Structure 1
Amino acid sequence: MPAARISQRISAIAESATLAVDAKAKALKAAGRPVIGFGAGEPDFPTPGYIVQAAIEAAGQPKYHRYSPAGGLPELRQAIADKTFRDSGYRAEASQVLVTNGGKQAVYNTFATLLDPGDEVIVPTPYWTTYPEAIRLGGGVPVEVFAGPEQGYLVTVEQLEAARTDRTKVLLFVSPSNPTGAVYSPEQVREIGQWAASKGLWVVTDEIYEHLTYDGVPFTSIATAVPELGDKVVILNGVAKTYAMTGWRVGWMIGPVDVIKAATNLQSHATSNVSNIPQVAALAAVSGPLTAVDEMKVAFDRRRKAIVAGMNAIEGVECPTPKGAFYVYADVRALLGKEFPSADGPVRPSTSAELAALILDEVEVAVVPGEAFGPSGYLRLSYALGDEDLATGVGRLQDFLGKAK
C-alpha cells in the first residue's frame, strides 16, 4: 500500500474558517461583487502614524537588516514586560517574554511546549477557531465546555469541574472572548482561577482584547487576580487588535523562564526571529500612549450598538450585547429548517454553515457560521468594519432573513 502523501498530523488540521470566509469575500470583491465582509476580526483603521513612522526609520538602519535574537529584540521584550504591568498589574521580567510571529504562533508555541501526547486542555466554547487545532498539533486533546447565550456565553466552575479528568493539564481562559465578546467579571475570573490553582492546572490566558471592553466593564487578568496560580500561567497577547496591526504579525507569550526558554528553542528552529521592522513598530506601539486605541474604541462601541439593534430586529435572531472585543455572536437556531428563497428555488438550511453559505450566495454578505467555533446554530459577525458597510450589510441580512417561512 503506498504511503500517504500528507502526514496524518497535518491532514487532520482544518483550514481557518475565519480566514477562509474572509478570503472568499475578498475574492468576490476583487471580481467586482459588492460583498460586505463581517468575517475577519480586523480593524478597518490604519495603523497609527507614529507606529508606521518608527518602522520606516528602522528600515533604514542596517542593524535591523540582520538576524536578531530568536526570542525578540531585548528592548521590545522589556517594553512588553513594562506594558503588561502597566495594563494588567502583572509583573514579569524580560526573560519571561517571547516575541512571536503574530498571536497564532504564541498559541502554537505554548501548547507545543506544555503538552505531551494525550494531555487534555479544557476549552470554553464557543472558542476561537485556531485553539483546538493548535492543541492537537501540540499532541493534546481539546475538551469543549459549551456555554450558550442562556448563560451569557460564560462557563461556570461546575462545568469546568465536570469536564476535568486525571489527564487534564491546562485550562484555556479567554476574556474578552472571540467569538462571543463575552467578558468575565472580576469575581468570576477569581473563582475560575482559584479552582484551576486548587487542581494544580496550568492556565493559558489569551488577553489580546484586553483594551476592548464597553459599558464600564473592567478587564481582569486571571494571572494578576489569582496569584495562587504561581508559575503555572502563560499570557498570550499581541499588537494586532489594540493598535490595528493585524498585518504586522507581532505577538508574544509571557510565562515561566523555563517555558519561555523551551518555546524560544522551538521558535529558533521554526522561524528564527520575528522580522525586525515590525518588532520596532511594536516597540513604538506598546511604549506609546493609548490615545489612538481609545479613539478606535469609540467607533467600535457605536458600531456594537448598531449591529446588536439591527440583528435583534430580525425575527428568529437573538443577539446578546457583547461586553468586549468587536464581535457579535447571534443565535440563529430558530431560523434553521425554515424556507428561504434562492436563485435555485426554495432552500431549507439545516445548519448555520448552510445558512451562512446561502447568505453569501444570495445577498453577498460574509458571516462565519457557528461550526467554526463549536456547535451549529450561530453566526459570528465582526463589527470592526466601516459604519456604512455595517449598515448596508445588516440591511441586507434583515431583508433576506426576514423572508424566512
Structure 2
Amino acid sequence: MRNPLSKKIVNIQPSGIRKFFDIVNEMEDAISLGVGEPDFDTPWHIREEGIYSLEQGRTIYTSNAGLMQLREEICQYINRKLHTVYDPKEEVMVTVGGSEAIDVALRAMLDSGDEVLVPQPSYVSYVPCVTLADGVPVIIELQEKDEFKLTREQLLDNITDKTKILILPFPNNPTGSIMTYEDLKDIVDIIIEKDLYVISDEIYSELTYSSKHVSIASFPGMQERTILINGFSKAYAMTGWRLGYAAGPKKILKQMIKIHQFAIMCAPTTSQYAAIEALKNGDSDIEVMRESYNERRRFLLKALREIGFDCFEPFGAFYVFPSIRKFGMTSDEFANRLLQEEKLAVVPGTAFGDCGEGFLRISYAYSIEELKTALGRLEHFITKLDNF
C-alpha cells in the first residue's frame, strides 16, 4: 500500500511534556509538578456568564473574527494595560487558545524557506508550527548567565537575509524569565533596521512579579510589525475554555482570519461570552491569583536552594528552571529516575529545546502543601545520589 502519511508530519516529534503526563496518569500516588495549568477554578462570575449564555440559547456561530463585543473589550484591555490602541473591527481576532493564534500567524506570514528566529528554551509549539508552515526555524540558545533573556548580540548573530520573523516568548515558559522595558528597548532598533516581524507570545503577561509587563508592540515603530498573542488560560484560569486572541496589522489579520475561517470557523461561543465578563470584571481575580503564585514562587525558590539546587530567580509565569548539572545526569535521566523512584514528575529541560539540557521545569501552580510534599520527595531523591 502507498504510505498514507506526510513525511513532514512523521518527522515532527511529539511533545516531550506529554510523555510524563501519560505515565503519571497511570501511576498510583504520583505527584506532578509538570503541568502548566492554574490550580484555581475559573472565577465563579466568569463561569456564571458562560452558563447564562447557554441558558439564553446563545449557541450559534459568531463572526469568524469573534464577537464584536469581545473584540472591543480586548482592545480596551490592551489599551488599559499596554497603552496601545487597536481597531476591534480589523486588528483583532479571537482564536481557539493562544496556540491557534501562533499557528495561524505563522501560516499567514511565511513562504517556503523563510527563517524564523526561535529563542529557546521556550514553548514546545513554536518549532513544529514553523515547520508546518514551511518555514525554517533558527534556534537562538538563551543563556542562564543572561537570565535566559534574548540579548542584542544573540539577535544580531542569528539574522540572515532570509530572516522574516522573531518569536518573542516572554514571560517565558519554561524558564520564568521576563524582558523588561530596557531589555526590549535594546533590540527594537535591530528589528526595525533589519525589517523583521515579531510574534510576541504574551500569554503570561499578567503573571510578572518584579515589574509590570511591557509589550514590544508598545514601542514606536513596532505595532505595525508585531502580532501580539494573548489569551485567557493563565490569567483567568480558563485553560479548558480554549480561548485566545491575536492583535496586529490589519493586512496580516485579514489573512489570519481567512485561515481560521476555513480551519476553525469561530472560537467557542460560550467561551467568548465568559471572556467578556473576565475582561470587564476580572482584574481583582488576577490580583488574587498573582499574589498566591508569587508566594509559592518565593517559597519554592528558597526551598530548592536550601536542598542543594542552583536556580536563578524567575520573575514571570509560574515555573522555576533549576540546574541539575551538579548531579551528573542528563535532564531526561534525572526526570525519569525521579518519577520511577519517588513518584514525582517534573519536566526535563530538553522538552523545550536542546539548550534546556541540564535543567528541569518545575511548576508552582500548586498549593504550598503540595509543594512541601513534592519537595520532600525531591530532597530524598538527591540525598541518595552518590555524588552529592
What range describes the TM-score normalised by the shorter chain of this pair? over 0.9
Quote how far apart the aligned CAs of 1:324 are: 0.8
Within a 5 Å distance, the mapping from 1:310-325 to structure 2 comes to 310-315=303-308, 317-325=309-317
Q: Shift of the alpha carbon at 1:230?
A: 4.5
Q: Does residue 372 in structure 1 map to residue 351 in structure 2?
A: yes
Contact 1:352/1:378 (<8 A) preserved? yes
Equivalent position SS for 1:65 = coil
Q: Does 1:160 align with 2:141?
A: no
Question: TM-score w.r.t. structure 2 length?
Answer: 0.96
Provide the identity percentage. Answer: 35
Q: Give, in angstroms, the shift of residue 83 of structure 1.
A: 0.8
Q: 1:79 deviation in Å?
A: 1.0
Q: Which whole-Å CA distance do the structure 1 matches of 2:154 and 2:43 have between them?
A: 42
Residue 72 of structure 2: aligned partner: 78
* Structure 2 residue aligned with 1:327: 319
> Which amino acid is the alignment partner of residue 59 of structure 1?
L
Cα offsets for 1:149-197 (capped at 9, x unmatched) = 1111112111111011111001111221111111112111111122111
Alignment of 1:245-260 (within 5 A): 245-260=238-253
Choose which of 208, 226, 229 in structure 2 pairs with 1:233: 226
Structure 1 runs (4+) greater than 4 angstroms displaced: none
Separation of aligned partners in 2, 1:109 and 1:396: 42
Query: Which residues in structure 2 correspond to 1:1-400 (within 5 Å)?
Result: 2-28=1-27, 33-62=28-57, 64-94=58-88, 95-215=90-210, 217-224=211-218, 226-315=219-308, 317-337=309-329, 351-374=330-353, 375=355, 376-400=357-381
CA separation in 1, counterparts of 2:383 and 2:113? 46
TM-score between both structures, scaled by the size of structure 1: 0.92
Q: Which amino acid aligns with 1:15?
A: P
Q: What is the CA–CA distance in structure 1 between the aligned matches of 2:71 and 2:228, rounded to whole Å?
A: 14
Secondary structure of 1:203's counterpart equals: strand
State the Cα RMSD in Å. 1.3
CA distance in 2 between partners of 1:26 and 1:284 (Å)? 34
In 1: Cα distance, 2:68 partner to 2:18 partner? 32
Cα deviation for residue 402 of structure 1 reads 2.3
Question: Secondary structure at the residue paired with 1:80?
Answer: helix
Aligned residues of 1:336 and 1:377 also touching (Cα < 8 A): no
CA deviation digits over 1:351-399, x for unaligned, max 9? 2112111111111111111111122111001100122111111111111
* Structure 1 unmatched runs, 5+: 338-350
Q: How far apart, in 1, do the equivalents of 2:286 and 2:15 lie?
A: 27
Provide Cα deviations, 1:259-303, integer angstroms capped at 9, x if missing partner.
111111111111111110011111111122411111111110111
Distance 2:272 2:24 in 1: 30
Question: Which residue identity lines up with residue 336 of structure 1 in the other structure?
Answer: G
Q: Is the 8 A contact 2:102 2:129 kept in 1?
A: yes
Q: May I ask how many residue pairs the two structures share in their alignment?
A: 383
Cα distance in structure 2, aligned partners of 1:269 and 1:74: 20
SS in 1 for 2:177: coil
* Closer/same/farther in 2, CA of residues 230 and 303 from structure 1, 3 Å limit: closer
CA distance in 2: counterparts of 1:117 and 1:297, whole angstroms:
41
Counterparts of 1:270 and 1:400, CA distance in 2:
47
